[in-house]
């Protein structure tokens, strides 16, 4: 679906767009969405696939993604209880560009690092903090 943005957006629309982009663009949401493109996963599978994420942060981020309609949580009444997470249709649609951006970043890490080193050398290392 192609959406053409108006040339000038009102403050309410800008705030809503910023809210959406903040959610899908935050560090953990992007990594979770990218990890879930392979299909339904259990909580523990997601946690193992995302290095450095705490149980609390994974729980919190999954809840936010579920609230916004990107992720579906299914509780399976077994002993112990099993909880599966999967992308919704909307989640799959946003995971595609998020994954593309992640792949782009991975493919350009060396170039970005070189550009930063060059900039820091020419402008002093305290010119910008990462």
Return the H-helix or E-strand segment holding 41: strand 41-42
* C-alpha to C-alpha distances, 119 to 46, 78, 89, 114, nearest whole angstrom: 37, 56, 42, 9
CA distance 69 to 84: 15
pLDDT higher at 104 or 23: 104
2-19 pLDDT, tens digit each = 666 666 778 888 888 888
48-103 pLDDT, tens digit each = 999 999 999 999 999 999 999 999 999 999 998 899 999 999 999 998 888 888 88
Where b means 16+ CB within 10 Å and e means fewer, 93-110 reads ebbeebbeeeeeeeeeee
pLDDT of residue 109: 94
Considering the entire predicted model, what is its pTM?
0.75
């Amino acid at each position: 679906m192609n959406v053409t943005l108006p040339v000038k957006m009102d403050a309410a629309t800008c705030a809503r767009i910023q809210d959406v982009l903040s959610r899908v663009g935050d560090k953990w949401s992007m990594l979770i969405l990218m990890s879930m493109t392979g299909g339904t996963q259990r909580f523990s599978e997601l946690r193992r696939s995302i290095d450095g994420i705490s149980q609390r942060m994974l729980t919190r981020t999954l809840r936010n993604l579920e609230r916004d309609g990107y992720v579906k949580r299914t509780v399976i009444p077994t002993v112990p209880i099993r909880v599966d997470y999967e992308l919704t249709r909307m989640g799959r649609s946003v995971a595609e560009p998020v994954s593309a951006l992640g792949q782009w970043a991975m493919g350009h890490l060396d170039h970005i690092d070189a550009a930063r080193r060059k900039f820091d050398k020419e402008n002093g290392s305290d010119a910008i903090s990462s």
